[in-house]
Amino acid sequence: MKKLLAIAFSITLSLALSLGLSLTASLPAQADSITEAELNEITAQWKPSAHALADVNCSSCHQDSETKAFVEKPNYESCQSCHEGETDTFLLGKHGIRLREGQTPLTPTKARIAMKPEAHSKQMNCNACHNVHSVDTYQASVDSCLTCHNDEHSLNYKNSKHSQSFLAEGNIERPSNASVTCSTCHLQREADKSGKNTFVNHNNTYNLKPRDRMASEVCMNCHGMEYAFNSIFDNELVNSNFSRPPEIHLKSFDMVRVLQEKREGK
């Protein structure tokens, strides 16, 4: 009986949202695990979202595609049905690798860098960074990171030059290409398997080390090679979240210039 009620709840809720009907007038009386206020908040978040515009409703995530059983708390597998690239790469990074290996989700208590005490029990999954009903990528691009991360580099972001363009845009649906956010540098945009669409690579580990990979794959999208490499190997500059120009000078670039001049006969 409970199973039937759960399915009825999911289907009725989806229809109500899709048709713009009143939720409280449509739900089964026994579906009382969620309050009227919570349902209204969920509806308000969902209606203007990218999911709503793409006809992704409640049953898209809360109903098992094979058994049609009600899923109270969808996990990454629900997201994977539409966001294959994002989910597959998430499972390869530090945030998701434990799930890939069949272990319990990562929590900030296991981190080797400073994390905020109030976030220590937070489980790393899709909804740790994304509000699943509003699908707000603006929040996920910076604020979600700073919910957990308490290291010097992360905390200095909002005072950095990188953040200025992002903060100037205000609270929009998603950051523009002009913004440099945490995700701009740590979650690359890539072409999917078809080569026709772009997705966000959620493997947050890929660009961290070695640093020359970060310089070539990320920094050089905006900066020249020498500036990028001098910056990424300046430890104080990295900790300050690139608040100033680099103060170190890698001698390897001088060596390359001398070799080039010799080859050109200068």
pLDDT digits (tens, 9 = 90+) for 203-212: 998 888 889 9
Say whether both 84 and 204 belong to one domain.
yes
**Number of structural domains found in the chain:** 3
Say whether both 185 and 65 belong to one domain.
no
Of 15, 43, 74, the position where a domain reaches its end is 74
Q: Is the peptide bond before 108 cis (omega within 30 degrees of 0)?
A: no
Output the six-digit token pair for 211: 């640093």
Of 13, 39, 74, the position where a domain reaches its end is 74
Q: Is pLDDT at 6 greater than 60 in this prediction?
A: no
88 contacts 80 by C-beta, under 8 angstroms: yes
Give the pLDDT confidence score for residue 22 in this predicted structure.
Answer: 41
Going by C-alpha positions, the residue among 45, 18, 29 that lies closest to residue 9 is 29
Cα(106)–Cα(109) distance, rounded to whole angstroms?
8
Say whether both 102 and 152 belong to one domain.
yes
Give the pLDDT confidence score for residue 172 in this predicted structure.
Answer: 65
Say whether both 120 and 179 belong to one domain.
yes
Say whether both 13 and 95 belong to one domain.
no
Which of 143-157, 173-187, 251-265 shows the highest mean pLDDT? Answer: 143-157
State if pTM tops 0.95. Answer: no
Say whether both 130 and 92 belong to one domain.
yes
End-to-end CA distance of the chain: 87
83 contacts 97 by C-beta, under 8 angstroms: no
Q: Which domain holds residue 257?
A: 210-266
Virtual torsion, Cα 198, 204, 210, 212, nearest 10 deg: 40
Say whether both 141 and 201 belong to one domain.
yes
How far is CA 86 from each of CA 4, 57, 104, 196, 202, rounded to the nearest angstrom?
Answer: 33, 20, 20, 15, 6
Say whether both 8 and 59 belong to one domain.
yes
Give the count of beta carbons closer than 10 Å to the beta carbon of residue 242: 22
Q: What's the rounded mean pLDDT across residues 232-248? A: 94
Of 193, 208, 223, the position where a domain reaches its end is 208
Cα(203)–Cα(186) distance, rounded to whole angstroms?
8
Return phi, psi of residue 117, to 5°: -55, -35
Say whether both 88 and 32 belong to one domain.
no
Say whether both 8 and 35 belong to one domain.
yes
Say whether both 107 and 175 belong to one domain.
yes
Query: Residue 202's pLDDT band (boundaries 50, 70, 90)?
Result: very high
How far is CA 119 from each of CA 96, 108, 177, rounded to the nearest angstrom?
Answer: 17, 7, 30
How far is CA 105 from each of CA 26, 121, 126, 150, rounded to the nearest angstrom?
Answer: 35, 10, 11, 20
* Percent of the chain residues past pLDDT 90, beyond the cut: 54
Say whether both 192 and 233 belong to one domain.
no
pLDDT, tens digit (0-9, with 9 covering 90-100), for 64-120:
888 889 888 899 999 998 999 999 999 999 999 999 999 999 999 999 999 999 999
Give the pLDDT confidence score for residue 10 in this predicted structure.
Answer: 46
pLDDT, tens digit (0-9, with 9 covering 90-100), for 180-189:
999 999 998 8
